[in-house]
Amino acid sequence: MANLNLAIKENRPLSRAEVTEKYPDIPPLVILKADVQRRGVHYSEAALGALDLELHATTGTHIFGARDGKIAARPESLLLRDGSSIITTPTPLELDPYLVDLHEGRPFLFEDGEPVEEVDYWPRPDFYDKTSSSGTLMQNVVSARPQRLNIFPYRYCTFWNNGNGCSFCDIVTQMKKGKEELGIPARLDPLEVKEVVWEALLEPGRYAALFLTAGSNVAGKRAFDEEVDYYIEILQRVGELFSVPKIPSQLIGTAFDDGQLERLYRETPLTSYTADIEVLGEELFNRHCPGKAEWIGYKEWKRRLVRAVDIFGPGRVNTGLVAGVELTSPGGYKNEDEALARTLEEAEDLASQGVSTVYIVWSPRPGTAIGDQKNASLEYYARLAAGLHGLRGKYRLPIGFDDYRRCGNHPDSDLSRLHNF
């Protein structure tokens, strides 16, 4: 308690130990996870030496890049002792990340030279080394988290056509790297996706859900029609593998209009829908997401999320935040107290209408407009996690489709393990 009181008196950011002490209702592993995401990781040579390419998943088909800007054979990500995941990114040592090194022969997270937590690498899916009928390595068509299959149908976003991509996004850079260095198709064939998902499902008992996401595509008779058509085609092909009309699945797409949302639900096996608003507050949304502002607008984005609840049902619609960009300059909130209050105020407006809000810890990436700025303090992320989880409790919003099992990338929805609604 003495160190905590001293930190508060000195008005400095709290350390992980101090945040853990101050917020006893948040499990220490959730706080550690948020901090690892906030600071990133660096793998020692010994840790990389423990990577078994036949047993462990290595860096795969992400649509966003690493903080060190590299594509290399490194662990896809980490597992904690409680079975939950840390989705993290390799980070240069000079940025003070956690070190992943060996301790008594096993991978551990190290902080300030001390081992703080044992971790493991993600298990490699059985289908990764097989090839599809077109000769493409299957891991370049569908990738996997420990309990979820990921489909990234294409790797571009047309908001970038006139330079209006989001300020934190590196999808274009990553698309070029993935195509040049890994041979990843820029656009997937729906029949090939079906073929790979079938192969993946032969591994018994592993996957709990299917997930799709890509960049926005404004093309079509109505804006985003082609994006919707393509998602529908893929979902229909995958749906042919099942004998039931709906399967546990999540799509992160653009905020589609009423007719597009109704088509997605009516014509596919999709069960949940996400349209990431990225940052709450209209001025910040316009600043950080100019493409979304140009084509849809903040108020309409929120209206379409609420409308999606009517179609998909309560507890099946949410939106995501890139938490921390709301504090960047210029234009960001003046301090973390203000940012937290304004963000939770807007999140409650959505929650009261059936839309849940989750966040990822913003990871500043090279080549992005705000990649040279720092993310928020660990205490901010802890308070935000508790606040968003509290709103789900207040408005009875379950988050099972985007929780620690299906996703694992949201410290706030990790708390649903304690209290689901």
Question: What pLDDT score does 255 carry?
Answer: 98
Tokens of 386: 């508790």
* Rounded Cα–Cα distance for residues 393 and 139 (Å): 38
Compute the chain's Rg from CA coordinates: 21
- In three-state secondary structure terms, 300 is helix
The model's pTM: 0.93
Of 42, 55, 21, nearest to 92 (Cα)? 42
Long-range contacts of 301-304 (CB under 8 A, 24+ apart): 301/255, 301/275, 301/277, 302/277, 302/349, 302/350, 302/355, 304/255, 304/256, 304/257, 304/258, 304/261, 304/275
Question: What pLDDT score does 88 carry?
Answer: 83
**DSSP notation for 346-372:** HHHHHHTTT-EEEEEE----TTSTTTT
Question: What pLDDT score does 418 carry?
Answer: 84
Tokens of 179: 């195509």
Residue 402 dihedral angles phi and psi, to the nearest 5°: -140, 40
| Residue 322, beta-bridge partner list | 360
* Residue ranges of domains in the chain, CATH in brackets: 24-121 (no CATH), 138-417 (3.20.20.70)
* Rounded Cα–Cα distance for residues 30 and 224 (Å): 37
* Rounded Cα–Cα distance for residues 307 and 261 (Å): 9
One digit per residue, pLDDT tens: the chain, 421 residues?
A: 556 666 666 678 999 999 999 999 999 999 999 999 999 999 999 999 999 999 999 876 555 667 777 767 788 889 999 888 998 888 999 999 999 999 999 999 999 999 999 999 999 999 999 999 999 999 999 999 989 999 999 888 999 999 999 999 988 766 666 566 666 777 899 999 999 999 999 999 999 999 999 999 999 999 999 999 999 999 999 999 999 999 999 999 999 999 999 999 999 999 999 999 999 999 999 999 999 999 999 999 999 999 999 999 999 999 999 999 999 999 999 999 999 999 999 999 999 999 999 999 999 988 899 999 999 999 999 999 999 999 999 999 999 999 988 898 999 999 998 876 7
Question: What pLDDT score does 199 carry?
Answer: 97
Question: What pLDDT score does 174 carry?
Answer: 67
Q: Answer for the pair 281, 241: CB distance below 8 angstroms, yes or no.
A: no
